[in-house]
């Protein structure tokens, strides 16, 4: 992989304690093409057996979200008050039952860490009680989630990890909160760096538009259909919303209006990440693939990462979107899982001492 990181302390920590970064990533040979990596993962990756304890968190506006806790009582960290905690944010319409989330919980458990999965409104068993969903640029719910975790275990260090849309929300939180954020570090995987460029990529004729784009739009529309009674008298032209066949159409007709933007373009500008790197005040590792069909390679802000501290971007040639499958039969651990596992252990074990400023 290519590593873009100006921050010498951060870079040294990564190469000292994440040996995977010195390896060559060899994608599964029979599905190395980006969309194959993206789609096949859904079909073949295993689902580790994880039993959560669910907490319903009531929001200030009357809505609710579900936090799924995996407490992981163990001998490595017997005191729950100081047990390191990994906060996980799934992707668009995702939940704690996604295969990649289950694998992350399992990896964290092997190190002795606690995991908490943040299921967005309407996902993971949470009922949609108010006419508000979630979007890439809004961090109010995430801030409340992190404050809740810290209220339960104020002495436990927290690392937050977001995948796809979850990574975008996390990155937006970290850049917006700056030194006031309440996590020790972050990791973002398969994010859309420049939303404008990502939408253009998804609208290209062929599989991108007719499979990936339509599939995502369909999932969003289905979520609205199931809660039509909530949005009555709150959204004009609901019929137009239900006819959305692309992400841009859905965001134009629903998301941007729901969150008070004057246009979809204004929303997309706020959701972009490439121009917010300078605001990061805690270390953030980002894993991107050059062939990610949701985020073109030219949109990965490698140059910006070489100009600012607290950011390291790992760029693989292959991997697709949340794919990163390797080996002949990629049913279990992936390159993404291994990097994640080494990173959280490195940060929890050495981050506070190795990254301390003089």
Condensed to tens digits (0 to 9), the pLDDT of residues 119-141 reads 999 889 888 899 889 999 999 99
Look at residue 29 in the predicted model and tell me its pLDDT: 87
d(CA 197, CA 269) in angstroms, rounded, equals: 11
pLDDT at residue 357 in the model? 55
State the average pLDDT for the chain: 93
- State residue 331's pLDDT score: 79
Long-range contacts of residues 57-63, Cβ cutoff 8 Å, at least 24 apart: 57/144, 57/145, 57/148, 59/121, 59/130, 59/141, 59/144, 60/144, 61/130, 61/132, 62/129, 62/130, 63/121, 63/128, 63/129, 63/130, 63/132
Q: What is the pLDDT of residue 336?
A: 96
Q: What is the pLDDT of residue 36?
A: 79
CA distance 224 to 69: 27
pLDDT in tens, 68-98: 999 999 999 999 999 999 999 999 889 999 9
Quick one: the chain helix, strand, coil %, rounded to 5? Answer: 45, 15, 40
pLDDT of residue 206: 80
Instruction: Considering only residues 94 and 188, tell me which one the structure prediction assigns the higher pLDDT.
Output: 188
**Percent of the chain, pLDDT > 90?**
77
Global pTM reads 0.95
pLDDT for 358 beyond 70:
no
H helices present in 86-213, as ranges:
99-110, 140-152, 165-177, 195-202, 207
Q: Residue 45: which of 102, 109, 1 has the closest Cα?
A: 102
The active-site residue, picked from 141, 244, 321, 341, is: 321
**Phi/psi of residue 187, each to 5°?**
-140, 130
Residue 325 has pLDDT above 70, yes or no: yes
Task: Please name the residue that has the structure tokens 């994010």.
Answer: 191
Q: What are 180's two structure tokens? A: 């006031």
pLDDT, average across residues 323-344: 92
Angle, in degrees to the nearest 10, between helices 264-271 and 195-202: 120
Distance between CA atoms of residues 54 and 75, nearest Å = 23
Spatial separation of the C-alpha atoms in residues 347 and 330, rounded to whole Å: 27
47 is catalytic: no
Structure confidence at residue 261 as a pLDDT band (50, 70, 90): very high
Please report, for residues 14, 119, 125, 138, 286, the alpha-carbon distance to residue 301 in angstroms, rounded to integers and kept in the order given: 19, 28, 36, 22, 11
Report, as an integer, the average pLDDT of 92-116: 96
Among the listed residues 292, 309, 318, 341, the single catalytic one is: 292
Non-local (6+) Cβ contacts of 66 within 8 A are 54, 55, 56, 57, 96, 119, 123, 124, 125, 126
Each residue's pLDDT tens digit, 161-180: 999 999 999 999 999 999 99
Q: What residues have CB less than 8 Å from 351, skipping those under 6 apart? A: 13, 184, 185, 283
At residue 343, the pLDDT reads 98
Task: Pull the structure tokens for residue 136.
Answer: 């890439």
Q: Is 164 a catalytic residue?
A: yes
Q: What is the pLDDT of residue 310?
A: 96
Is 240 tagged catalytic? Answer: no
Query: How far apart (Å, rounded) are the C-alpha atoms in residues 223 and 193?
Result: 25
Instruction: Please report the pLDDT score of residue 223 as a whole number.
Output: 86
**Distances from the Cα of 36 to the Cα of 29, 30, 102, 103, 326, angstroms:** 11, 9, 21, 20, 12
In three-state secondary structure terms, 187 is: strand
Of 34, 95, 164, 190, the active-site residue reads 164
């Amino acid at each position: 992989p290519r590593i873009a990181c100006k921050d010498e302390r951060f870079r040294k920590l990564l190469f000292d304690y994440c040996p995977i970064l010195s390896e060559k990533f060899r994608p599964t040979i029979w599905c190395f093409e980006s969309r194959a990596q993206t789609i096949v993962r859904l079909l073949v990756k295993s689902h580790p057996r994880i039993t959560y304890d669910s907490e319903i968190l009531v929001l200030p506006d009357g809505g609710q979200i579900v936090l799924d806790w995996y407490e992981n009582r163990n001998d490595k960290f017997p005191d729950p008050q100081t047990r390191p905690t990994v906060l996980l944010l799934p992707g668009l319409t995702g939940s704690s039952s996604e295969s990649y989330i289950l694998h992350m919980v399992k990896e964290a458990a092997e190190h002795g860490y606690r995991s908490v999965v943040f299921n967005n409104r309407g996902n993971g068993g949470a009922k949609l009680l108010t006419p508000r969903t979630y979007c890439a640029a809004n961090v109010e719910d995430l801030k409340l989630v992190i404050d809740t975790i810290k209220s339960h275990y104020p002495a436990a260090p927290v690392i937050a990890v977001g995948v796809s849309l979850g990574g975008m929300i996390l990155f937006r939180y970290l850049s917006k909160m700056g030194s006031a954020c309440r996590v020790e570090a972050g990791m973002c995987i398969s994010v859309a760096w420049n939303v404008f460029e990502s939408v253009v990529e998804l609208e290209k004729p062929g599989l991108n538009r007719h499979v990936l784009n339509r599939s995502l739009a369909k999932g969003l529309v289905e979520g609205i259909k199931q809660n039509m009674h909530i949005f009555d008298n709150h959204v004009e032209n609901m019929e137009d919303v239900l006819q959305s066949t692309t992400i841009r159409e859905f965001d134009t007709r629903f998301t941007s209006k729901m969150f008070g933007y004057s246009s979809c373009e204004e929303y997309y500008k706020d959701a972009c990440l490439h121009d917010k790197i300078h605001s990061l005040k805690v270390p953030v590792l980002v894993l991107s693939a050059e062939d990610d069909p949701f985020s073109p390679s030219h949109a990965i802000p490698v140059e910006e990462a070489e100009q600012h501290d607290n950011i390291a971007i790992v760029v693989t040639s292959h991997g697709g979107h949340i794919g990163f499958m390797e080996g002949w039969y990629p049913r279990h651990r992936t390159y993404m899982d291994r990097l994640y596992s080494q990173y959280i252990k490195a940060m929890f074990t050495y981050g506070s001492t190795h990254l301390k400023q003089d």
